[in-house]
Amino acid sequence: MSVQVNSEVITFAKQLIREGKFKNDEGHWSQHNPDTRQENTFLQTHEIAEYANWHLGLDTSKGEDTKGRYHFPYGDFKTVHRDGLIAAKERAAQQGYSDIENAADELLQALEKQANK
């Protein structure tokens, strides 16, 4: 698997954070992470590119129109979640994807800065 950081997503997520579209939650990401049913429902009314916007990782070995191409989710298709960024950062570190780990950390810092305003 060849996963790299999806740099366009960083810009998208930063914009959401600036607009206040985030949740500074302290729960577990498993409570907020969209499940397969929610992902499929989202894809019924949105393009795969919009689905991609909610994932920090991109597996270029997978087809562009497949869900399997996108990894490290961080939001619920509406808002950026603090616990989603933490989960993405931790999983990226465990799997050796330092660019994704760093991107998640950068977004986490932006979210916390915005939350403290």
pTM recorded for the entire structure: 0.92
Report pLDDT for 1.
62
Report pLDDT for 105.
98
Report pLDDT for 79.
96
Q: Which residues neighbour 32 within 8 Å (Cβ) at sequence distance 6 or greater?
A: 23, 25, 76, 81, 83, 84
Phi, psi for 22 (deg, rounded to 5): -150, 160
Report pLDDT for 67.
94
23 is written with which tokens? 């949740």
Q: Which residues of the chain have pLDDT under 70?
A: 1
Report the relative pairing of strands 55-59 and 3-5 from DSSP bridges: antiparallel
C-alpha to C-alpha distances, 27 to 57, 63, 82, 117, nearest whole angstrom: 22, 33, 9, 21
CB atoms within 10 A of CB 53: 19
